C-alpha cells in the first residue's frame, strides 16, 4: 500500500448527499465552462484547473501503467486500477484488484452498474460519470 490516503471523501463510510451533489455540480459546471460538453456516456475527471472529458465507447482501463487507456500520474493508483465497460445502453465499473480500491459515491465496490451522476473515486482522483 502507498503512504498516501484515499481521497478524503472516499475513505468515509457515508458522504452527505449535499457534498456529493455539490461536487457533481462543480464538475458539470467546469465541463460546460470549458465547452467540452459531449453527448453520450463519458468520464469527467476533476482537475484543479478544470476538467478532462473521456468519452466511453466500448471499454477503457484507468490506471498509472503504460497500458491504461486513461493514464494518470498518481502513486495511489494501480497500474491497471479499474475497467469501465459499455454493454448496450449500460455502463459497468470493475475494480481490477487494486491496492487502494475503487469507490462509487464513497462506497467501495468490486463491480457496479453506473448511472449518470455517479462520483468515482480512485487514488486521489475524482471522476463524474455522465450520459
> What pLDDT digit, counting tens, does each position of 11-46 carry?
545 566 777 777 877 777 777 777 766 778 988 888
List, in sequence order, every residue forming a beta bridge with 63; answer none if it has no partner. 71
Q: Which of 48, 54, 47 is nearest to 69 (CA)?
A: 54
The strand ranges marked E within 1-131 are 42-47, 50-55, 59-63, 70-71, 82-87, 90-95, 102-104, 107-109, 111-114, 119-122, 125-130
Positive or negative: CA dihedral 77, 106, 92, 26? negative
Is pTM beyond 0.75 here?
yes
Amino acid at each position: 500500500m502507498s503512504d498516501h490516503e484515499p481521497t478524503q471523501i472516499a475513505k468515509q463510510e457515508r458522504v452527505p448527499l449535499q457534498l456529493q451533489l455539490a461536487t457533481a455540480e462543480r464538475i458539470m459546471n467546469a465541463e460546460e465552462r470549458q465547452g467540452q460538453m459531449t453527448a453520450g456516456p463519458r468520464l469527467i475527471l476533476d482537475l484543479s484547473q478544470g476538467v478532462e472529458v473521456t468519452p466511453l465507447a466500448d471499454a477503457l482501463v484507468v490506471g498509472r501503467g503504460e497500458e491504461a487507456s486513461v493514464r494518470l500520474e498518481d502513486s495511489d493508483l494501480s497500474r491497471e486500477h479499474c475497467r469501465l465497460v459499455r454493454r448496450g445502453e449500460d455502463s459497468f465499473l470493475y475494480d481490477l484488484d487494486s491496492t487502494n480500491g475503487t469507490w462509487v459515491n464513497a462506497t467501495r465496490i468490486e463491480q457496479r452498474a453506473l448511472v449518470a451522476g455517479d462520483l468515482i473515486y480512485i487514488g486521489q482522483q475524482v471522476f463524474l460519470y455522465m450520459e
